[in-house]
A and B are shown apart, each in its own frame.
Chain A
Amino acid sequence: MMPAVAEERRTPRVVGVEFPFGHAFGMPHDGAMHRRVLELALRVLAGAGGSGARVDYDAQWPVPEREAYRAWQPKEPSPIVKRLLERRAQAST
């Protein structure tokens, strides 16, 4: 989901997908998509010629962006996000 970050961290082989977090292989119940993404990852695993190889999966997420952005997020903020929000609120008062 964040191939640029994986590249910065020196991940040797990277497949980028422009999918919401929690959905590395695609939409629920879309087995064909899961298989295409996994096969691409396997091809990159076996075929990359050197460290830093990156191939991006060419597909658009089939859900409106705002809806998808909300849908992947937890129902309540994670503990670290909650703490950051509290600190930000304190700093602004």
Chain B
Amino acid sequence: MIVDSYRFLPRSFRPFYEGRGPFRGEEEPVWAPFTKRLADSRIALLSSAGIYLKASQPSFDLDAERARPEWGDPTWREIPASFEPGDVDVAHLHLSHDDMLTDPEIALPARAMAGLVEAGVVGGSTSAHVTVMGYQDRRLTDWKEKTSVEIVGFLRGQEADGLVLAPA
């Protein structure tokens, strides 16, 4: 099966995505070999669904995006791998929140990861995962200079061997 990348995208949006090619300056292939056995590796998850801990973390800044529609909050959140569905809320103006609030695993599958650890498929999960809000300023300046640097530092601190990035 070859996935239809545009099946669920409004038809008028398709030209914004299709055939755009790589970002300028990012034309070369990117590659980091994964040298360890998966069963000996510690893996983290990163979701762009805008999930945050509602009791202890600020929401992603939706008011600022409403004021500046071409801007998206570039900050990130650390979500414990042991989070419960009732612990989280979603801040993302481009998606329905209904199913993600019903079951956040559809965007951040921490329990599925724990099951694969228990089965020995993967060596371990990081103790916390990462979330961001996926709608971003097209220039990605904050992302390149701050957000990605902070997330890489966090993942190194978690001794992650690999990262599964799940776009929302």
Contact = CB atoms under 8 A, between A and B. Distances in A.
Given A4-B18, A18-B1, 4 more contacts: A16-B3, A42-B43, A42-B162, A82-B69
Contacts of B103: 28-29
B93 A56 contact: no
A58 B1 contact: yes
Given A12-B31, A56-B2, A21 B8 contact: yes
Contact of B99 (A16, A45, A47, A71): A71
Interface of A: 1-6, 8-12, 16-29, 31, 34-35, 37-39, 41-43, 45-48, 50-52, 56-58, 65, 68-69, 71-75, 78-83
Contacts, number: 173
B70 interface: yes
Contacts of B36: 46
Contact of B100 (A22, A79, A82): A22
B27 interface: yes
Contacts of A38: 109, 112-113, 116, 164
Given A1-B5, A34-B112, A79-B65, A46 B106 contact: no
25 contacts: A2-B6, A4-B18, A6-B167, A8-B21, A17-B3, A21-B168, A22-B49, A23-B99, A24-B47, A24-B106, A24-B168, A25-B112, A26-B106, A28-B105, A29-B102, A29-B103, A31-B112, A42-B162, A42-B164, A43-B38, A45-B34, A50-B29, A50-B31, A56-B1, A80-B69
